[in-house]
Structure 1
Amino acid sequence: MKTLLSAIILLFSTQQFFAQKTENEIISRKNLTIIRTNSVPKIDGILDDEAWQNAPIAQDFIERNPNNGIPEPADFKTIVKVLYDDTGIYFAAKMFDPNPENIKKQLSERDFTANADIFGITINGYNDHQQSVLFMIQASGVQADAKIMTNANDDFTWNAVWNSAVKINEDGWTVEAKIPFSELRFPKKDVQQWGVNFTRIIAKTNQNLTWNHVDNKKATYLMYDGVLDGIEHIKPPVRLSFTPYVSSYLNHFDGKNTSSFNGGMDLKYGINDAFTLDMTLIPDFGQTSFDPAVLNLTPFEQQYSEQRSFFMEGTELFNKGGLFYSRRIGGFPSKYPETEDDEKVTEYPAKVKLFNAFKISGRTNKGLGIGFFNGITEKMEAKILNEATGETRNEVVEPWSNYNVLVLDQRFNGNSSVTLVNTNAMREGNFRDANATGLLWDLNNKKNTYNYFGSLKGSWVMDNGTKFGSRGQAGFAKTSGKNRFNLNGVYATKNWDINDLGFSTTTNFANYNGWYGYRILQPTEKFNNIYLNFNLNYFHRLEPFLYTNFVFNQNTQFTDKNYRSFGGGIETTPFGENDIYEPRVNGRFLKVPAYFDSWIWVESDSRKKLQFNVSLDYYAYDEKGRNKVMPQLYLRYRFSDRLNAIWRFNTTLSNNEIGFAGKDDENIYMGKRQRNTYENSLTSQYTFNDKMSLSLAFRHYFSDVTYDGFSTLNQDGTLSDTTLFNKNLNGTYNSWNLDLRYSWWFAPGSQLTLMYQNAVMNYLEVSRMRFNDNFSTLFNEPMANNFSLKLTYYIDYNQAKKWVK
């Protein structure tokens, strides 16, 4: 699933701090009482069905952006009608527009937003202002859906199965939609009361309108929904669906062809009105897109985003606290084989196979959210050849392993929550096991103006003994008005380690942060929005105590009346840094000179056919000849409502940086290096209709490193020239990837995907190669060419019963 574009950010702004309505603060809520229908409307976008004639109406929308709080323009009136029956809830919306020929209706793939008008529905079946489901229909007919929450942990990977249709006519455009009750969560009651809101985005004017007024002074979109009454004595159908799949792969690499054929199934079952079981049986993740690999010279591993749909969808509870990094499951094996002098590894598994996985999640009527995830991975072995005798042996590099996550999230007082998270990794045999537990709190005052937040977490690693570490945070923030601030502190002990099922890097530190932000709440004569932010950060090592860094940061962003955005800022470390991680040895540190960083960026109006973003970032160090320059360019062009292309070019030119080079029993060696990195990427999509698209993703990454000399690291963090270390560490790294993908949603919830992937990479112990020589060498490497076809078909149990009859 994909991240929705800037229209969604504009629509919900859920990255702001979160607060909800309490009994002591009354927020105006519109009420809509709907009626049951016995005449089911045809979902075709034409509002001539008899059922709509007497349907209740929601109207009188209020502008949210850019002019918060004013009535909708008379020429852009919006009318919504709602009905229900025992199977689901029906919506009909009429969006008036004086110039319907100019309604934006660019096509995109499902769950992407484009340059198109949008009608959105948010439904909260528990009417608690905490979590809603979002259904969006664009004027092109393209659907998008998501779970949106108050804590910025929104799940745009969530996919529902629902029907909608649109029509553009002589006075605007219309929408019809049916959302089955099986896609909603609500308590088991005879009489329902839901939170609901409707949103309209007018792309050509960048206006955002809502039925129930959303005040931008504080809190989030979810706080300001209206009330939906009238749903009574419904009998929701059994929530059970199956999504079987078949897939086929043909791979060509280094002159060899391989093929495979797979089959499996995903299952979704509504245990009761609140809880859902998701299970994947014999999973197949072969069609995931490439990872953006880089030449990593840092002390930490590179983190990649999740691309497997099962681990992306419906994980909002499991992601709380940052203890769960799903890429650990089915990632690299735990260890590399130990070999004798006459042995070599001839086969080593690139990834661990996932055997099966399931998750149960939901929330009770009293606000207790419960999530449980379990995954099992298979035993993986490496093959080792004895070159002297010709004998081979196998060694287990990853045993049968079990991973699970348990989350308990209690909401109370309408706007606060306390969460307990536990993750556990258990491996067969003498491999290491691990556990991590976190307690989180998020408390808001009655007026929703101040927020108190924090966490306390512990990690236990069992590997020839038990290693315990902890991490904690506490903070206080003002979350309303023009002037806002945040004060918080974070610490992590030396043994903090959640990397068996989570992702952590820095340890043995404390950080104290102060943030102040100013924003305008209404447009001015020249600007639609203005944001000014100031940050202070102080870092020190925990044991033994050592000052590590003091950072001041200021950044500014403006958007003018023509929706052009400008920004920039500065950052400085006036006292320099004692880097406790670059030496790769506990207790040692590297002195890094002070720097002054400044940046500027400009972004054009996204409504135009051609959109660009240009930025320049420059670091100047308090050391002769040391600097870093990072220019970036983004270009997007819409050739038509069907075809668009995006080109990104990112560059980093780093001069005289100092980095770890190696160590022996006596010394740590640092190297002075010149590093040039260039990244080119091109994405393009041709959308045939609202169900079918062809997309291209290409990326070439190049990084060149040249060392100019080596030093030994002294105990006080300074450097001394040395002749003891003189290895060739110069290098050139290339990563080339191309994905060509055809997607067809041929039925609700059912998809056919055809994919071609081309990839090659190399690392050469030489630098500063000529352009032609670099590419010639790269394309002489064995290149992977993969073709795959995957078909998934959604089967609803209630429909399947009719087939049998």
Structure 2
Amino acid sequence: MRCFLLIGWLCFLTCVAAQGQPHLAASPAAPNAAQPAPKRQLQAVRISTPPKLDGLLDDEVWQSAPVASQFYELEPTPGRQEKHPTEVRILYDDAAIYVGAIMHDVSQDSILRELSARDQIGNSDWFGVFIDTYNDHLNGYEFLLTPGGVQIDMRNSPATGEDGNWNAVWDSRTTLQGNDWVAEMRIPFSAIRFSNAPEQVWGLNFGRQRRSTRQKFFWNEVKPQVSGFVNQWGELTGLRDLKPPLRLSLTPYVSTYVDHYPFNEQGKRNTATSFNGGADVKWGINESFTLDATLVPDFGQVQSDNQVLNLSPFEVQFNENRQFFTEGTELFNKGNLFYSRRVGATPIGFGQVGGQVRPGSHEVDGSRRGGEFVLQNPGTTPLLNATKVSGRTSKGLGVGIFNALSNNVYATLQDSTTGARREVLTQPFSNYSIVVFDQSLKNNSFVSLINTNVTRAGNTYDANVTGGLFRFANQANRYALDGRLIYSNRRGKAFNSDQDISDQNGYKYFLNFGKISGKFTWNVDHGIESHTYNPNDLGLLFSNNKISQSLNANYNIYTPFWKVNRLTTHVNLLYTMLQQPLLRYQGTTLYAGANTTFTKNFLSAGINADASPLNRDYFDPRRTPIGEYYVRLPANVGVNGYLSSDYRKKFAYDVSYGLRFYAADGDRTGRNNFALSLSPRYRASNQLSFIYNLQYELRRNQIGYAGGLSRAQPEDAAMLTAFGRDVLLGRRTVTTITNTATATYTFTNRMSFNVRMRHYVSNVHYLDFTRLRPDGLETPVAYQRNRDNTFNAFNIDAVYSWWFAPGSQVSIVWKNAGATLLEANAATPLYFDNLSNTINTPHNNSVSVKVLYFLDYLALRPRRA
């Protein structure tokens, strides 16, 4: 009933919007709203003497350049011309392109300018230049600057959208002049890629945000009804005789660590120090392609992972925080076949070490003594090096090649009596590689070919995945057909096993067709992932063995009406089956939702609802082949939503919630989920800010896999023979609380200090147990073993960062980490007891200092002359 009420609310909003349409017809954005705006042109002026980069624009050369002005609003009212003009000029010489912009405003108080770390805008105005050097309408560069001088740069591509992980080395200055603010940029040609054609036309746009009024403007009008962003840019003309420079830079680093571990093998506290050195190399092979390599990389300063208690049958996906694997990877992310955390991941034999421990073999005082224990078992695989070559030709062909090498990894076992040690291989020498070809086509279309490969030394299996992707849009950019066909292959034997897995070859295909532009859009799709499809040696797939089809519809209103700035709505219907056994029903779900921002207070709100009949979970029982065992999921309805206040105010907040109710399943009632997130934030000044986040989740009467049975446990041994392949399920209550606090002080636009503290606790309390038989049949069992557990994780990351020169940085990092897993009678649901236990448990501590220095060949060459 709740779900239908929410869908009714959604329909009401849509009706209100429809009643306002006659008024909207007179708005500037209404005529030809689904067609891109005409492309405007700006001529760049070649100069012989570069302007002084001081943010003043008083050099004579600036006066000779044509002015780009008359920007068009994108938010909140698309199509309106800006009231406070923006004036932009472009110059260039043999080394760089220069952008000068004046942003007129009401007063200096109207120019918001919070300082923030690099690549973070904060509560600030910004000006940006957007460049499509090959004018393929798909791929572009974005360079943004705030009044406080904070630099933001991004790559834009179909694979990743706006990718803020990309970084370039460029220079800029800003000043406040009366009621205006001025931005001056120098973007060296070594930071971007372009062809060597004697005369070129680049895609071009300029953007501006007036934060005080929450308005965004673009020089070449960007229409929200039109699919795509880069294809809506204008053109930069007048570029002649550009010579792509030799792009060669070296960024050596040195780092030192002091690591304090709670205990060594004798049970005493232990402190270790290390000194490291290496380098990152960038080399422009030609005008189109660049080689990036990291030699003896050091990733010890990256932010700690958010550890969680995982009760699901699938692995936890962690964020990638290593810069080399986040920067310039838009080609490698095509088709979602590359999960970079696989490179340098946990060794494949990490979990098998305990099974190779030798038991005691001699008698002392009539009892067995001796035997081995695990002295050391590294949880990550250190890399020897990683290299990537990527770029795009003047004909629109993108090529990406990635390769990484990791060395052997060993666990160390020690005999408890003799002290003798031996090593056990957990990860053989491995080579990871990706090759991508991506051809841009007309009408915002493309075709791509991707291959990923993992080759391991010795008898361990190798893996290969090859995929083809395409997108074809019609000339009007109203309809598009997307598709992909992927084949996965494994060959060899499983690690530390004689099991031949060469027959584990699988496939995936996916087709999607729909209307992509306009207020009303829709699409239908169909896909299959075979039961043997497995890209997980270098990719990430949670579950295969699926046939899915969905119908999706969206109705969006982008111009303010009634009391809202814009409204987006969606309705989706998803139906899934197993691929093997063929066409066995899995699930059906109906989704609906709406999102809006109100005009008066800029409060953003969203609500989503879904409803499912009886579904089947074939994966939680963890039995292969899939299909015989499944856990019944009763009919259920869910609703979730959020509120987000105006971040322009010193105090702001985010609130989100989630509710799910399940129908009674036999004599089981009262199953439901509740989740709440509160995140207040306070900006004390333009330099100091605080963010706190509390997440609470409660799952009552959840039914799930209760763990495997073991002959080592008396309660389990008697059941092993009786159960056979049957599964032990448990009805449980799971309570999870996460507290995260962040404080940031930004000294200047190049120097900042950030500290982040996170405490996570999850408690699992089992109520009763059942025996899962084939076809979802459950029978109660009198199981007495206590399976309760509590997992705690605590992290502190404190980072001081100073960009003392373009591309050069000093960083000082302190990391504190600890985790505990309490089982059976030691598990406790009391939050403050868990917090106290976690704080009082010895933690790993690491203090590190790292210095990077950017060396550009073009900057060094004149000094040698």
Q: Give the TM-score band, short-chain normalised.
A: over 0.9
Residue by residue over 1:242-295, the C-alpha shift from the partner in whole angstroms, topping out at 9 and shown as x without a partner, is 000000000111121100000100000111111000011111111011000100
| Whole-Å separation in 1 of the counterparts to 2:609 and 2:694 | 23
| Whole-Å separation in 2 of the counterparts to 1:780 and 1:253 | 14
Report the equivalent of 2:784: 726
| Whole-Å separation in 2 of the counterparts to 1:742 and 1:791 | 12
Contact 1:150 1:222 in 2 (8 A): no
| Whole-Å separation in 2 of the counterparts to 1:112 and 1:703 | 32
By how many angstroms is 1:718 displaced? 2.7
The one of 688, 706, 725 equivalent to 2:747 is 688
| Whole-Å separation in 1 of the counterparts to 2:556 and 2:829 | 49
Contact 1:252 1:258 in 2 (8 A): yes
| Whole-Å separation in 2 of the counterparts to 1:344 and 1:489 | 51
Report the equivalent of 1:359: 388
| Whole-Å separation in 2 of the counterparts to 1:512 and 1:488 | 5
Aligned residue identity for 1:779:
I
Contact 1:468 1:495 in 2 (8 A): yes
Residue by residue over 1:668-719, the C-alpha shift from the partner in whole angstroms, topping out at 9 and shown as x without a partner, is 1100101100011111210001000000111110100000111000222031
* Structure 1 residue matching 2:318: 3-state secondary structure: coil
* Structure 1 residue matching 2:200: 3-state secondary structure: coil
Contact 1:673 1:706 in 2 (8 A): yes
Report the equivalent of 1:52: 62
By how many angstroms is 1:553 displaced? 1.0
The one of 606, 610, 618 equivalent to 1:567 is 606
Aligned residue identity for 1:437:
T
Aligned residue identity for 2:827:
S
Percent identical across equivalent pairs? 39
* Structure 2 residue matching 1:193: 3-state secondary structure: strand
Report the equivalent of 2:71: 61
Report the equivalent of 2:338: 324
| Whole-Å separation in 1 of the counterparts to 2:45 and 2:831 | 69
The one of 116, 124, 128 equivalent to 1:116 is 124
Report the equivalent of 2:655: 614
1:479 aligns with 2:516: yes
Residue by residue over 1:41-85, the C-alpha shift from the partner in whole angstroms, topping out at 9 and shown as x without a partner, is 111111111111222211111112211112111xx1111111111
Report the equivalent of 2:102: 94
Contact 1:455 1:472 in 2 (8 A): yes
1:714 aligns with 2:773: yes
Report the equivalent of 1:671: 730
Structure 1 residues 553 and 769, CA gap change in structure 2 (3 angstroms):
closer
1:767 aligns with 2:827: yes
By how many angstroms is 1:645 displaced? 1.0
Contact 2:606 2:642 in 1 (8 A): yes
Residue by residue over 1:632-690, the C-alpha shift from the partner in whole angstroms, topping out at 9 and shown as x without a partner, is 11111111000111111111101010110134434211001011000111112100010
Aligned residue identity for 2:746:
T
Aligned residue identity for 1:567:
G
Report the equivalent of 1:173: 181
Moved over 6 A (4+): none
Structure 1 residues 68 and 263, CA gap change in structure 2 (3 angstroms):
same
Correspondence list, 1:330-729, <5 A: 330-335=344-349, 336-337=352-353, 338-342=356-360, 343-387=372-416, 390-462=419-491, 463=493, 464-466=500-502, 467-544=504-581, 545-561=583-599, 562-573=601-612, 575-586=613-624, 587=627, 588-623=629-664, 624-663=669-708, 664=720, 665-723=724-782, 725-729=783-787
Contact 1:154 1:316 in 2 (8 A): no
By how many angstroms is 1:26 displaced? 8.1
Aligned residue identity for 2:770:
S
Question: Unpaired segments of 5 or more residues in structure 2?
Answer: 1-34, 263-268, 361-371, 494-499, 709-719
By how many angstroms is 1:729 displaced? 1.3
Contact 2:443 2:475 in 1 (8 A): no
| Whole-Å separation in 2 of the counterparts to 1:26 and 1:225 | 9
TM normalised by structure 1 equals: 0.95
| Whole-Å separation in 2 of the counterparts to 1:153 and 1:216 | 15
Moved more, 502-511 or 764-773: 764-773
Residue by residue over 1:212-241, the C-alpha shift from the partner in whole angstroms, topping out at 9 and shown as x without a partner, is 111222122211111111121133431100
Contact 2:231 2:444 in 1 (8 A): no
Contact 1:106 1:642 in 2 (8 A): yes
| Whole-Å separation in 2 of the counterparts to 1:26 and 1:595 | 43
By how many angstroms is 1:599 displaced? 2.3
| Whole-Å separation in 2 of the counterparts to 1:602 and 1:772 | 29
Aligned CA-pair RMSD: 1.4
Contact 1:347 1:382 in 2 (8 A): yes
1:202 aligns with 2:210: yes
Aligned residue identity for 2:539:
G
Contact 2:638 2:660 in 1 (8 A): yes
| Whole-Å separation in 1 of the counterparts to 2:383 and 2:159 | 31
Report the equivalent of 2:224: 216
Contact 2:196 2:244 in 1 (8 A): no
Report the equivalent of 1:744: 802
| Whole-Å separation in 2 of the counterparts to 1:751 and 1:287 | 13
* Structure 1 residue matching 2:240: 3-state secondary structure: coil
Contact 1:380 1:399 in 2 (8 A): yes
1:804 aligns with 2:860: no
Contact 2:307 2:793 in 1 (8 A): yes
| Whole-Å separation in 2 of the counterparts to 1:149 and 1:437 | 21
| Whole-Å separation in 1 of the counterparts to 2:303 and 2:745 | 18
| Whole-Å separation in 1 of the counterparts to 2:200 and 2:526 | 43
Residue by residue over 1:737-788, the C-alpha shift from the partner in whole angstroms, topping out at 9 and shown as x without a partner, is 0011100000000000001111111000133343443233223322111100
| Whole-Å separation in 2 of the counterparts to 1:410 and 1:83 | 31
By how many angstroms is 1:414 displaced? 4.0
| Whole-Å separation in 1 of the counterparts to 2:162 and 2:216 | 20
Report the equivalent of 2:236: 228
* Structure 2 residue matching 1:71: 3-state secondary structure: coil
Correspondence list, 1:3-82, <5 A: 28-73=38-83, 76-82=84-90
Contact 1:680 1:701 in 2 (8 A): yes
By how many angstroms is 1:102 displaced? 2.4
Report the equivalent of 2:9: none
Question: Unpaired segments of 5 or more residues in structure 1?
Answer: 1-24
1:267 aligns with 2:267: no
* Structure 2 residue matching 1:409: 3-state secondary structure: strand
* Structure 2 residue matching 1:101: 3-state secondary structure: helix
| Whole-Å separation in 2 of the counterparts to 1:756 and 1:594 | 48
* Structure 2 residue matching 1:107: 3-state secondary structure: coil
Aligned residue identity for 2:516:
T
Contact 1:710 1:726 in 2 (8 A): no
By how many angstroms is 1:390 displaced? 4.3
* Structure 2 residue matching 1:230: 3-state secondary structure: strand
Aligned residue identity for 1:533:
H
Aligned residue identity for 1:547:
Y
* Structure 2 residue matching 1:620: 3-state secondary structure: strand
Q: Which protein has the bigger helix share? A: 2
By how many angstroms is 1:486 displaced? 1.6
* Structure 2 residue matching 1:582: 3-state secondary structure: coil
Q: Which has the larger radius of gyration?
A: 2
Aligned length in residues: 777
Moved more, 527-536 or 538-547: 538-547
* Structure 1 residue matching 2:310: 3-state secondary structure: coil
Aligned residue identity for 2:290:
T
| Whole-Å separation in 2 of the counterparts to 1:769 and 1:190 | 71
Aligned residue identity for 2:142:
L
| Whole-Å separation in 1 of the counterparts to 2:832 and 2:74 | 54
Correspondence list, 1:120-139, <5 A: 120-139=128-147
